[in-house]
Chains A and B, each alone.
Chain A
């Protein structure tokens, strides 16, 4: 085994810095994470089973009992529910991003990356982009399952696709929260549980699974200002799944009156805030 540096190829370093390097480095890291996903297919499969179970359980267990605008017709609940399940699914991808980054820290890969002359945010951007790809696949499968159990949209395809884009934007925003959690905890296990627990109140104190009408007034306010609710309401509107008997807003909260634009604003705000926090944290990351 002989390793001399003399015969190393003469390397012309590419021009560095700027947006192009950032994009390129992010794509290199995204590719790495996507390759990993194909090597650990069970992660992708488990990521699919959970939302599918939610679709089936909610549809058939709660479907006939939950009153949507005064009617317990299961078909109404199916249409009401799906935007909520989709939104919950994209936010649960957060935990994956957190656990992945915590695992990289733990194994010393973050040290390796940080010692390389690469763009500052690329490790995290690459990770969140790969998660976005995974979330998209999950949503496609989930939408298929939803159609099988009887979910129907009542708007043109363009609007329906915009509904999915709104959901993916929320998922992407949340993966930056996951990234920050992953960088802040000591072990991948902590990132998984820490990445999940706060999602339960966040997704349940919302309009996702039941109309907020039945909640105590205080929770109604929380639910209607919840960024998650805005996306659910926005997607419902774009899918044509709004229910005539369910008021847009109970408390008169602005995001509920304008759910689509509110959803975009919330998601962009989350990305801006949590991306800069996460990149800052990354730059000083130590195990």
Chain B
């Protein structure tokens, strides 16, 4: 197992180096001039040049790159110009916000999509199959910001059930001391149950928005994979042996149908983590997606590079985790790996 992990990590190094070079070049190729942008609305040419010098953008590209990689080797991702904070610290603060939201969204989605997919597969052509098809199609075809806005409109603005979409905590609660960065866990550690409730109720709408969007791939994949497995010989054998339908489906069929579902889950998770920008915007969620987009709009190089690099590392780790999970679920994969 350890050699497998070591090997996989070793393979990731060239791709990470590639990511560093490409993001560096890409951000430099952006049309905007950060110096002109940050010199403010009333700057003269001299003021812009002064700022460019201060930011080090007057140096040749190679020199900038050497300095960037050198900083990177020391764990310094640079400083964001739009927020004025070190990028590493901001990513550290914002990643848990995105991760907490995405994980909860994914959990909600799994809890709905997998049973739905399984049911649809056991009764193809029935009303539950149609229900599965309709919900997933609707979920995936509604843009997330639209779903988010409708939910806010109905549950906050009209009904008043949901708290104000003002980020992770209500304005009048103070942030729990950071242990994991996940407010749901941190508030419990701090035994601040009122804050836990606030954090949880703030999470519901954005998590549901994400869940609706990610229902489709999970439910469809579960259904397809279950259908294939249910048609296979060993399920027929199990049924013929008189095992209860529950046991056949859950113990035999479902476990075998899990592999493609797990793969889809990992894809959906990494996709949601980076791509829930719109949900973050709608719910004023201080996550990494909105951070990266804002930086991009302002030609703020450091956060964009930091974001892409973080995402690349996350992808590598996630893929590793999934590979290990494969082995746990299906011993045959372990032998081959």
Do the two chains belong together in a single complex? Answer: no
Give me the interface of B with A, judged by CB distance under 8 Å: none
Give me the interface of A with B, judged by CB distance under 8 Å: none
